[in-house]
Each structure stands twice: as structure tokens, then as C-alpha cells.
Amino acid sequence: MIIFLIICLSLIISHQFLKKQVNDRTGINTPNGINSLEKIKLGRIDQWILIRGWNRSNPVLLFLHGGPGAPLFTNARDIGVKAKLEQHFTLVYWEQRATGKSFSLSIPEESMTIEQLVSDASELTQILKDRFKVPKIFLVGRSWGSLIGLLTVKRYPELFYAYIGIGQIVDPLENDRISYRYTIEIAERSGNKKALNDLRNIGEPPFNFKELIIQRKWLTKFYKNMMAEKFNKKPQNHLKKLLSTPEYSLIDIIKMGLDPFFSIKNLWNDKFYKTNLFEQIPQIEIPVFFLAGRYDYFTPSEIVENYYNKLISSKGKHIIWFEKSGHYPELEEPKKFYDIMINKVLREISD
């Protein structure tokens, strides 16, 4: 009992200390700045957004996270502060229903659909337009969020200046086939018998959520090793990230751990695998920018390149390669990410 209390007390002290460090280092003190954590209702479900920027008159950029179910507030400072986007955009980080601070055991499973998330995204976009009195906003979707993002801008092009896809999902079934075969190849090359046994047991996709977790576990392990060897990239300490995120209380963190695979269980399903943007979105009516990591095998960039070549876009399309990145170019090459977002995306739309 005493050991348990000591552990709890240590966590509380560490949590408060780390949050204060982050707040002191990343505070926004400009006259027209904004740093606001807000609960809103989307599709009749309470959800949370974090809004940060040096000048609330700057263009609004909504960020859609990956996963599904991957907390976003943990990386807000990396995107906004490290990549310096807060100086040029009013950044809105949205943790979708059942993700991060928006997680609740009371969320109906039947509401966890791609269609509902697209509806939530459009509803939030309208709220932001009205809140900041702007005619349109920018939309960034990464990984899982990129699927929601492209489906949203296809349906509501009038709401957006441009769409930026990071680790773009196009064809989920082909995506996971390539990802699975790559993971098998690396396991064979490294002589990892445990990985090979696990991977051969689950077989090729489509995956259920348990099979997906096994494949992604080994891919993540190999990915971290590869990025460390090639580019000296050190993996993040996820617990420290959670504890140092000012927007999370310890109760929030505990709640996230109650059912960490809730979103994947309900969204990575037959309907998801039947999605195919080659067929569903052959044409787009706003400028699109695909940011592709050369070493991305979570959402293999070869599929994105193929889609880019076939996509019809009267307003312009771009694919930008990040040669020292895998699945996280905005975190792995923040200077280049800044350059693309400011000197390409923002400048082109302004012109």
C-alpha cells in the first residue's frame, strides 16, 4: 500500500512539474494571441479542441489526427512551436470522438463510423468559420485523419482553401498488403523468428483489430530501428509525452487507458477496407498537397504517388517528398515542414 501511494504521489508531482515546464517554454504572450482548450459538441457528443496561435487574425488551420484514436494534443507543440506554424496560422487541434481528452465510455459504438467523423469535421469547420469570421479554412489530415480529410473536402469543397495530406491513406486494403509484406521482408532480413511467426500466423490483410495491432507492433519496432540507424532519430517516450501535455489531467490519462483500442475496434473494419479513393475521389476541386515520407510503410508512399499521378485537380496538385522521414514528416523534418506550409501552401493560396 505504501509503495502504491509513493508511486501515485511521484506521478502527480512529475505530472505537475512536466506540465509547468512545457507551459513556461511554450506560452503565447502576443497581444492578439490565443491559447484555448475548449469543449464543444459535435454530432451530439462532447469533444475537445485546442486552439493556439500568435495572432487570431491569421488563417485558420484544422489538424486531423491519425490512429484512429491517436491522441493529438501530445504533439501540438511539436507542430506549432517546433515547426513554428503558430506564427502564421491559428492552429486548431481536434481530438475526435473517443480519442484523447474526447474519450468516454458512454460514446455509442454505432456512432463510430467514417461517415460520422466526416460529419463532425464539417460541423467543426463551420463553427471555426463563424468563430473567426473567415470564409474558408485550411485542412491537414495525417494518416487515419487523411482519409477523413479527403472525404470531407470532396463533399464540402466550399469550406476549404486547401487540403494537406500527410501519410495519405488512399486504398486501405492495398495499403495494408504492402505494409504487411514489407514487415515480413524486414523480419526475414533481420532473422527475427518471433516476428516472422507472429506475422505468418495473422496472414495477409484484411486485418481485424487484433491482427492489425500485431502487424503494427512489429512494423513500429523495425521502423524505430531503421530511423535510428539512418538518421539518428530517437523514439519518443510516450508516457512522458502524456504526462507533460498541459491539456491532460491524470484522470484524462487514466481514462485513455480504459479502452485504448476502442476507436480501432470500431473503425478498422470491412467498411474501412472497402474504401478506395481511386474510385471515390478521382477528382478534387481545391488545391491539394501530399507530404510523403520516403520511408513510410505505415501508409506506403508509393500508393500516394500513384494516386497523385491519377488525381484530377483543376485547382492544382502537389506531392512533396521528405527524404529523411517515414510516417511522421511534420515531426521528423520540422524545418522542411515549415518551409512547405509557409512558402508553398500559404504563399500559393495567397497568390
d(CA 143, CA 220): 14
> Please, are residues 89 and 61 in contact by the beta-carbon 8 Å criterion?
yes
Catalytic residue among 179, 296, 301, 325: 296
> Distance of CA 86 to CAs 23, 36, 162, 193, 342, Å?
15, 13, 18, 46, 11
- Could you list the beta-strand ranges (E) of 6-104: 34-42, 45-53, 60-64, 90-95
Pick the catalytic residue from 120, 171, 325, 327.
327
Tally of CB atoms within 10 A around 339? 13
Known catalytic membership, residue 263: no
Q: Name the nearest CA neighbour of 49 among 73, 27, 30, 69.
A: 73
Question: Within 10 A of 122 (CB to CB), how many other CB atoms are there?
Answer: 17
User: Which DSSP string corresponds to 143-195?
Assistant: THHHHHHHHHHHH-GGGEEEEEEES--S-HHHHHHHHHHHHHHHHHHHT-HHH
* Best CA proximity match to 64, nearest among 173, 158, 169, 157: 169
143 has catalytic annotation: yes
Closest alpha carbon to 95 in 119, 67, 53: 67
CA–CA gap between residue 152 and residue 139 (Å, rounded): 9
Instruction: Find residue 321's DSSP bridge partners.
Output: 292
Catalytic annotation present for 327: yes
Rounded Cα–Cα distance for residues 85 and 78 (Å): 10
Q: Choosing from 143, 146, 244, 301, which is the catalytic residue?
A: 143
Compute the CA torsion angle 233, 234, 240, 241 (nearest 10 deg): 10
Instruction: Residue 154: count other Cβ atoms within 10 Å of its Cβ.
Output: 18
Give me the active site residues, please: 143, 296, 327
